[in-house]
Structure formats: structure tokens, C-alpha cells
Amino acid sequence: MYELSSNVKHSLHCILVLLTIIGYELSYYKNPNITDKSVSNLFADYDHWTALAIFIYNLLDIVISVPNTFLNIFGLVLYNAFRSEIKIKALKNIQKNIPFLCIRVVTRGDYPQLVRKNVDRNMKTCLSSGLRDFIIEVVNDRTIGLKTSTKIRELVVPDGYRTKSGALFKTRALQYC
């Protein structure tokens, strides 16, 4: 299947943001249910202090939400969130300062193919970055059948295992480790 480049994805994303804003504006101004909510109606319908409180509340709502909205739109349009490849810096010069790492993946084991894929991807990332002293532990409730090596360890939590605190799911598996 053809993969779109990050610039094409970002351009499509910007077009979608623009179309969403235009669609909202068109639907807002064509809505016949919008009534006139001017300040003169507000002061005519309520006493002076209540109208002033409503006016200040609405003004604060605008003052707080408008900058947030504009910053979100600028972030969506100006920042390309679809960068294709992240380059990992090799750790050759500082390898001796890195302690032993244990990367622990906790799962129920319902999707063994997904777990294998993630373990392989994590292994490639660690090796390409120059890590040497690490292990990837997969802790689950069912056997997945991962290929065993010095860098991969699979732990299966027994069905009868109970924690002192009565913890369940991932916490139970982490306490078993």
C-alpha cells in the first residue's frame, strides 16, 4: 500500500482544519434559531447588577477561550505532526555510564502477534541506539511463545497468584515480577 509523505499528510490536515472552520461559520450564520443577544437587550431584560454580572461572565468566557482556540489552530496548522522518521542518536560515547535497563511490557496476552511486533520493534530500537545491557521482559496472563534469548524474557503470571493488597490486572502482574 502506498504511504503518503509527511508533508502531504500535513497539507491534508491543514485543509481539513480550514474546511472545518468554514463549515462551522457557514452553519452558524445560516442558523435561523440564533436570536439577537446584544448588550442593550441584556440590560433591558435584567436589572442593572444582574445584567452586568452576565455581561462580565460572557466577556470572561470570550477572553479565556478565544486565545486558546487561536493557539490550538496555529499549532494544528504550523506544526507538522506527521514527521516520517525519527533518527535515534547512537550512545557510543556514553555507553559505560548507562546502567542495566529492564524494559517491561505488561499485557494479558490476548494479541500475541501485536506483542511480538512491539517486542521486535523495541529490540531494534535498543540495538540501533547502541544499548548493550538491557532486557525486554514481557509479563502476561497467557503464554505467547516469544523466541527466547538473553535479551527477551517472558513471564506468565499463574492463575492462582494473589497479591497482598488484592491488586488486579497490570498491577498484579507487576507485583508478580
In 30-168, which ranges are continuous DSSP H helix? 39-45, 48-78, 112-128
Domain span including residue 102: 95-176
Residue 146 placed within a domain: yes
d(CA 91, CA 105): 23
Residues 103 and 60 grouped into a single domain: no
Tens digit of pLDDT per residue, the chain (177 long)?
578 888 899 999 999 999 998 888 887 777 666 555 556 677 788 888 988 888 888 888 888 888 888 899 899 889 888 877 767 666 566 556 678 888 998 888 789 899 999 999 999 988 887 788 899 999 988 888 888 788 999 988 888 888 888 888 888 888 888
d(CA 152, CA 129): 17
d(CA 177, CA 166): 15
Residue 131 placed within a domain: yes
Within a 10 A sphere around the Cβ of 10, how many other Cβ atoms? 19
pTM for the predicted model, two decimal places:
0.52
- For residue 155, the SS3 value is strand
Residue 89 placed within a domain: no
